[in-house]
């Protein structure tokens, strides 16, 4: 285990020594680290979903079924049916909420490992923020770069036209539920966009 840790450390630190400029190297290295964390997270969510997709969709469908039923009851003015359907929708929602919460751990664990490594290497690093007299710690730099890499990655996939069913998960796929910053499922966006 120690050998593996050492190997990873040696591999990662290389990206922090590319130009010899401390600030630039720190940004480049952290950018690479954030990219690795994002890719590993996406890969592990993909693997996890191969096993859970059906159960996941079943609960989400149940929540939506009762939700739509409650809306119909509301339109019909049937308060009792509305309360009943809404209660069942809430229960199904609660179930699928926690299923997703647990599944999103597959997306997040690499972030913790990345931060653990940075904590070990750069605990005292302070990147000055120009004109403020303040400085940014390693967590702040990582979070900002991680979010940038995430949105850049999405943009690149779109630009390359890779958002087809083969290249990217379908809009209503559970993968998009475990990776929340992606687009919302159409079955539910129709609820939010049709106004």
Q: Among 18, 15, 41, 42, which Cα is nearest to 30's? A: 15
- Contact with another protein (CB under 8 A): which of 14, 23, 98, 167? 98
Binding region for another protein (CB under 8 A) out of 9-17, 19-27, 107-115, 163-171: 107-115
Q: Is 129 in the site for another protein (CB under 8 A)?
A: yes
Compute the distance between CA of residue 147 and CA of residue 101 in angstroms, rounded to an integer: 19
Q: Is 157 in the site for another protein (CB under 8 A)?
A: no
Give me the least distance between CB of 165 and another protein, in Å please: 20
Give the E-state strand segments of the chain in sequence order: 127-129, 134-136
Q: Is 112 in the site for another protein (CB under 8 A)?
A: yes
Binding region for another protein (CB under 8 A) out of 16-24, 28-36, 63-71, 161-169: 63-71
Give me the least distance between CB of 67 and another protein, in Å please: 5
Q: Among 179, 147, 138, which Cα is nearest to 12's? A: 138
Give the E-state strand segments of 9-142 in sequence order: 127-129, 134-136
Compute the distance between CA of residue 112 and CA of residue 107 in angstroms, rounded to an integer: 10
Q: Is 126 in the site for another protein (CB under 8 A)?
A: yes
Given the complex with another protein, which of 5 and 19 has the nearer CB atom?
A: 5
């Amino acid at each position: 285990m120690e050998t593996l840790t050492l190997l990873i450390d040696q591999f990662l630190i290389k990206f922090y020594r590319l130009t010899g400029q401390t600030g630039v190297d720190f940004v480049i290295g952290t950018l690479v680290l954030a990219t690795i964390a994002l890719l590993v997270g996406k890969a592990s969510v993909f693997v996890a979903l191969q096993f859970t997709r059906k159960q996941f969709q079943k609960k989400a469908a149940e929540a939506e079924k009762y939700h739509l039923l409650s809306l119909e009851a509301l339109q019909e003015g049937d308060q009792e049916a509305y309360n009943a359907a809404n209660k069942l929708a809430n229960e199904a929602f609660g179930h699928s909420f926690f299923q997703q919460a647990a599944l999103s751990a597959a997306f997040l664990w690499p972030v913790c490992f990345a931060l653990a490594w940075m904590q070990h290497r750069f605990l005292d690093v302070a990147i000055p923020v120009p004109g403020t007299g303040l400085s940014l710690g390693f967590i702040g730099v990582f979070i900002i770069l991680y979010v940038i890499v995430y949105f850049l990655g999405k943009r690149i996939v779109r630009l390359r036209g890779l958002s087809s069913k083969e290249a990217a998960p379908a809009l209503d796929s559970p993968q998009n539920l475990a990776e929340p910053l992606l687009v919302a499922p159409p079955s539910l966006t129709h609820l939010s966009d049709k106004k």
